[in-house]
Structure 1
Amino acid sequence: MIRTRGLSYRYAEGSEPLRFPDVDLRQGGTLLLRGRSGTGKSTWLALMAGLRSPAGGDLFVASTQLGTQRGAEIDAWRARCVGFLPQKLHLSSALTVADNLALVYFAAGQPRDDAAIARALAQVGVAELAGRRPHQLSGGQAQRVALARAVLLQPQILLADEPTASLDDEAAADALALLQASAAACDASLVIATHDQRVVQALAAVPGLQQLDLNA
């Protein structure tokens, strides 16, 4: 679940804060975060993931109030509770696909589970890529690997930042369906940040869909 009240963020000390509308997203619900480039979509997602600290307001994500944790504490919480699919996938070129996923266990302070890594890769259709390195993957394969990493620990929240950017219609539809299926498999609340009208139209029929428009 996600609950915000009076949430704001300041890019630099003394600057005018960016203020966000209040949100109440139930566990397992879907939120469409809309807005043009520069309206704060990525910043809002970073706040939800504990990658940035709010300037003001209350922020509860996965039953945890954010804004006071630091360092290893917030890293471990993020690894356990939040799956994040950023625009830049941040796969380590020095590691195999399986080892990239194993970093999640290190961040969460848990022992590596190779069987779970194999299951996560199989769930997104790339089980055969476990031994490859990121430079050996296509763009679509890399995105699937990053999604497997995001859902490896069965997170309560799944965040996706412009997941269909630069994809053709067929690939965009596949990516969106895979995101929804992955979130449903672990009953995660799904947040998709986008300005892609194909995503807006595809999600329109989702029961209980919530929308947060940062253009307003």
Structure 2
Amino acid sequence: MRLRRGKRRTTEDNRPEEPAGTPGLAVELRGVRRQYGRGAGAVHALAGVDLALPRGTFTAVMGPSGSGKSTFLQCAAGLDRPSAGSVRLGGTEITGMSENSLTELRRSRLGFVFQAFNLLPSLTVEQNVLLPMRLAGRRQDRRRAAAMLAQVGLADKARRRPGELSGGQQQRVAVARALVTSPDVVFADEPTGALDTGTAAEVLGLLRNAVDTLGATVVMVTHDPVAAAWADRVLFLADGAFADSLERGSAERIAARMATLTARTAHPGTMAGAVA
């Protein structure tokens, strides 16, 4: 049956269907604002963020304390709802999704790597890697899990439990878990914050390799210029908006840009901007 011309399509939960996102983009934010509280005491954590990230790219997000990094990640990943604006992941508009639909999307199409690893101690390494498939109601593909563990150098640790592994090994398991469903986007929140320098480099190398060889899209929030230097592009947040960006920057250049941004934040001027 053909739709009548002029009749607007609706989604399963009877919301008007949004226009399609821009092809080839993994993450799209348009006019995203996040306000906590009301009136004079309101906090504008995000003050109108515009962002377009192509598929198969590695993006780092940095900014001074209180700049909105955590809020950005939560809104972009569907963990928090913006007060205004639009968020699309893999071309899918998520802003008005129901909680059930958002949960399903996160389980099946997004990957997460956290500073604290967030592995379940009672499960084996293999079971932890398979968890996103299990939660999404998909067949638990042990061959896929084995391939991901081999990719992160832990092929011989599948039957171990997290408590038997080092911190770096646990974070490798978390990376394998994030990649096992071939997600549209992997969101990494300070993934090297609990690791020493050498181990951090190994984990960042895995994320870099996932982008370069698996076609993954990685969005990483970090305070570390050395970690950010692994990314294709560094975006700098200040006062809830993107104020600057740097392509393929060295750790030294990134640190210098951060120092400048921090100084400007201490003496605020007009800093809001858009990054596309």
TM-score between both structures, scaled by the size of structure 1: 0.89
- Residue 18 in 1 paired to residue 41 in 2? no
Q: Which residue of 2 aligns with 1:59?
A: 87
SS of 2:65 mapped into structure 1 = coil
Is the radius of gyration larger for structure 1 or structure 2?
2
Gaps of 5+ in 2: 1-25, 244-276
Q: Give me the identity figure in percent.
A: 37
TM-score between both structures, scaled by the size of structure 2: 0.71
Q: Which residue of 2 aligns with 1:181?
A: 209
Q: CA deviation at 1:29?
A: 1.9
Q: Which residue of 2 aligns with 1:102?
A: 130
SS of 2:115 mapped into structure 1 = coil
- Residue 2 in 1 paired to residue 27 in 2? yes
Question: In the alignment, which of 65, 74, 83 is matched to residue 46 of structure 1?
Answer: 74
8 Å CA contact 1:155, 1:186 repeated in 2: no
Q: Output one character per residue of 1:31-65: Cα deviation in whole Å (capped at 9) or x when no partner.
A: 22011333222221122221111111111111111
Pairing 1:1-216 to 2, within 5 Å after superposition: 1-12=26-37, 15-19=42-46, 20-203=48-231, 206=232, 209=233, 211-215=234-238, 216=243
8 Å CA contact 1:34, 1:213 repeated in 2: yes
Structure 1 residue identity aligned to 2:28: R
Q: CA deviation at 1:13?
A: 6.2
Q: CA deviation at 1:141?
A: 0.6
SS of 2:43 mapped into structure 1 = coil
Q: Output one character per residue of 1:64-93: Cα deviation in whole Å (capped at 9) or x when no partner.
A: 111222333222211222111112221111
Aligned equivalents of 1:186 and 1:101: distance in 2? 17
Aligned equivalents of 1:94 and 1:64: distance in 2? 35
Q: Identify which range, 66-75 or 93-102, moves more after superposition.
A: 66-75
Which has the bigger relative contact order, CA under 8 A and spacing at least 6? 1
8 Å CA contact 2:57, 2:211 repeated in 1: no
Q: Output one character per residue of 1:115-141: Cα deviation in whole Å (capped at 9) or x when no partner.
A: 111111111111111111111111001
Q: Structure 1 pair 11/132, CA: closer, same or farther in 2 (3 Å)?
A: farther
Gaps of 5+ in 1: none
Structure 2 residue identity aligned to 1:137: L
8 Å CA contact 1:82, 1:156 repeated in 2: yes
